[in-house]
């Protein structure tokens, strides 16, 4: 076997894998996909509510524009919490196992989301309402910070080497299914309670949050039924004595800081496209372009179906040509598209709005599909949960928190084209970082 430097994760040689039965891989893939769907459903209903109702319910004194900015500021809080969640849950995921840690993230997300559904508005409890909202949103972000890496590790560490991209796709489909589910629940509650009346603003929007409790119970059942990954069990058996081991976050930063930072930069474009498409364009469609809420929500469902297809195809294709090449295609295409996006939207055409949503989420999906295999492949087993989570969630801060927060004031000051320029700049950054990454599709997970 070739000897390699521990600093070069992508140079790890392929070792003959002990592949579990295909049925076991499929069971884990389905369980991971259902788990991420539930976690991201909880996460996305907040984004939809932030666009549609939170400015009125929690920031009524600020007016329309300032209320929207404040609402998206609370949305961004979760992205600040995500790296902290990645460090804490990554620590336990690398020490006690992927499965047990993922049960904790699911419970934290479910409790935070359910409590948001019970939270009184500003007219009832005053300034305490937005403060509690921020704390609960932090809890959501903290949970998601630990969720994604663990779910993708479960499938990537179980998967056959030649089909790792395909199987790691299943947790990646969670956001697509979750966005469909969250948009559908708001569509149904809006239809039942009325599109703009007081009943919807007081009670109707809460139902999707309260409904999450049922989904969490389903997710817990699925996760309790799966076993810890063989790769992790082998790593524990071969691990040095506890006194000789450092904290996983220190190991990951010391040994593979380059991979953490490059992964964050490479995925910044991905996050910016996704959260602009799922959260900001929902707000832009209703408040700026004047489309009614049901049309915007149905458009989101159509876009989610399209980007789910893009995720599946790109993930499978990455098993043939590599993760890096597929992600690079997405970043390159994103540059001209983001510059053209808002001029297209500002025509006010309903058909072009649908097209804009679908294309934006398709470009995102092309990059997101291979990411489920790329990040686990980048890092060594002993700190893989922490390293993958850090890279992913730092990208979330850069591409997911900042653009939705800056979009409204940029539009007010310079026009909507300024938002496109910001997104294009993030895509250029991602191109540079992706070019610096080494291809990972043929590395061993047992290293």
pLDDT-derived band at 194 (thresholds 50, 70, 90) equals: low
51 in a structural domain: yes
The segment with the largest mean pLDDT, out of 75-79, 143-147, 256-260, is 256-260
Global model pTM greater than 0.85 = no
305 in a structural domain: yes
Query: CB neighbours of 28 closer than 8 A, spacing ≥ 6?
Result: 154, 155, 158, 226, 229
Q: Pick the more confident residue, 1 or 300.
A: 300
pLDDT for 30 equals 84
Provide mean pLDDT across the span 370-385.
90
What is the CB neighbour count within 10 angstroms for residue 106? 27
84 burial type by CB count under 10 A (0-12 exposed, 13-18 middle, 19+ buried): middle
234 in a structural domain: no
pLDDT for 353 equals 95
What is the CB neighbour count within 10 angstroms for residue 333? 17
**For residue 115, what is the domain's CATH number?**
1.20.1250.20
Provide mean pLDDT across the span 406-423.
86
For residue 4, pLDDT beyond 50: no
Residue 426, token pair as written in the block: 């993030």
Task: Please give the full DSSP string across 210-261, using - where no structure is assigned.
Answer: HHHHHHHHHHHHHHHTSPPPHHHHHHHHHPPPGGGPPPHHHHHHHHHHHHHH
Q: Give the domain range for residue 135.
A: 25-229+248-436
CA gap 290, 188 in Å, rounded:
20
121 in a structural domain: yes
pLDDT-derived band at 11 (thresholds 50, 70, 90) equals: very low
pLDDT for 153 equals 86
pLDDT-derived band at 67 (thresholds 50, 70, 90) equals: confident
2 in a structural domain: no
Query: CB neighbours of 45 closer than 8 A, spacing ≥ 6?
Result: 113, 182, 185, 186, 208, 209, 212
Residue range 334-353, pLDDT digits in tens: 999 999 999 999 999 999 99
Residue range 85-111, pLDDT digits in tens: 888 999 888 888 888 898 898 899 889
For residue 245, pLDDT beyond 70: no
Provide mean pLDDT across the span 130-155.
88
pLDDT for 358 equals 94
Q: What percent of the chain has pLDDT over 90?
A: 32
For residue 13, pLDDT beyond 80: no
pLDDT for 20 equals 44
286 in a structural domain: yes
CA gap 252, 232 in Å, rounded:
16
3-state helix, strand, coil in the chain (%, to 5): 85, 0, 15
Residue range 205-223, pLDDT digits in tens: 888 889 888 888 888 888 8
Closest CA to 372 of 166, 175, 219: 166
For residue 33, pLDDT beyond 70: yes
pLDDT for 426 equals 94
441 in a structural domain: no
Q: What is the mean pLDDT of the chain?
A: 84
Task: Please give the full DSSP string across 345-367, using - where no structure is assigned.
Answer: HTT--HHHHHHHHHHHHHHHHHH
Our count of domains for the chain comes to 1
CA gap 8, 380 in Å, rounded:
10
pLDDT for 240 equals 57
For residue 294, pLDDT beyond 90: no
pLDDT for 10 equals 42
For residue 197, pLDDT beyond 70: no
pLDDT for 421 equals 93
Residue 392, token pair as written in the block: 């992913």
pLDDT-derived band at 311 (thresholds 50, 70, 90) equals: very high
CA dihedral 73, 74, 75, 79 (to 10 degrees): 90
pLDDT for 352 equals 95
pLDDT-derived band at 360 (thresholds 50, 70, 90) equals: very high
283, HSE (Cβ side, Cα atoms, 13 Å)? 28
92 in a structural domain: yes
Provide mean pLDDT across the span 133-154.
87
Q: Pick the more confident residue, 32 or 268.
A: 268
pLDDT for 339 equals 94
CA gap 256, 376 in Å, rounded:
13
pLDDT for 447 equals 63
pLDDT for 12 equals 44
pLDDT for 252 equals 85
The segment with the largest mean pLDDT, out of 93-97, 296-300, 317-321, is 317-321
């Amino acid at each position: 076997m070739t000897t390699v430097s521990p600093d070069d994760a992508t140079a790890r040689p392929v070792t003959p894998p002990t592949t579990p039965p295909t049925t076991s891989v499929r069971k884990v893939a389905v369980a991971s996909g259902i788990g991420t769907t539930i976690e991201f459903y909880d996460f996305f209903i907040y984004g939809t509510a932030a666009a549609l109702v939170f400015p009125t319910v929690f920031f009524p004194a600020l007016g329309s524009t300032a209320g929207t900015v404040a609402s998206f500021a609370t949305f961004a809080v979760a992205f600040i919490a995500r790296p902290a969640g990645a460090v804490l849950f990554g620590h336990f995921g690398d020490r006690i196992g992927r499965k047990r840690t993922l049960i904790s993230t699911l419970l934290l997300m479910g409790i935070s989301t359910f409590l948001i559904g019970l939270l009184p508005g500003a007219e009832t409890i005053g300034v305490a309402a937005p403060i509690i909202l921020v704390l609960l949103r932090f809890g959501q972000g903290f949970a998601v910070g630990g969720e994604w890496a663990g779910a993708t590790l479960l499938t990537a560490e179980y998967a056959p080497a030649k089909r790792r991209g395909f199987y790691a796709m299943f947790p990646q489909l969670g956001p697509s299914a979750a966005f469909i589910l969250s948009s559908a629940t708001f569509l149904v509650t809006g239809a039942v309670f009325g599109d703009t009346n007081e009943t919807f603003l007081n009670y109707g929007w809460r139902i999707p949050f309260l409904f999450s409790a049922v989904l969490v119970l389903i997710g817990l059942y699925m996760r309790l039924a799966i076993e810890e990954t063989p790769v992790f069990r082998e790593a524990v058996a071969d691990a040095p004595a506890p006194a000789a081991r450092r904290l996983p976050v220190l190991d990951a930063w010391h040994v593979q800081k380059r991979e953490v930072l490059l992964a964050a930069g490479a995925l910044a474009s991905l996050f910016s496209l996704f959260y602009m498409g799922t959260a900001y364009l929902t707000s832009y469609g209703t408040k700026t372009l004047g489309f009614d809420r049901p049309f915007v929500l149905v458009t989101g469902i159509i876009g989610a179906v399209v980007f789910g297809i893009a995720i599946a195809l790109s993930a499978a294709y990455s098993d043939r040509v590599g993760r890096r090449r597929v992600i690079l295609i997405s970043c390159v295409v994103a540059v001209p598209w983001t510059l053209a996006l808002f001029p297209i939207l500002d025509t006010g055409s309903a058909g072009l709005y649908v097209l804009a949503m679908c294309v934006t989420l398709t470009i995102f999906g092309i990059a997101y599909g291979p990411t489920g295999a790329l990040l686990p492949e980048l890092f060594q087993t002993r700190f893989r949960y922490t390293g993958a989570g850090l890279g992913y969630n730092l990208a979330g801060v850069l591409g997911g928190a900042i653009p939705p927060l800056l979009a409204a004031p940029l539009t007010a000051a310079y026009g909507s084209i300024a938002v496109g320029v910001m997104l294009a700049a993030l895509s250029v950054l991602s191109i540079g970082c992706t070019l610096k990454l080494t291809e990972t599709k043929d590395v061993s997970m047992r290293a």
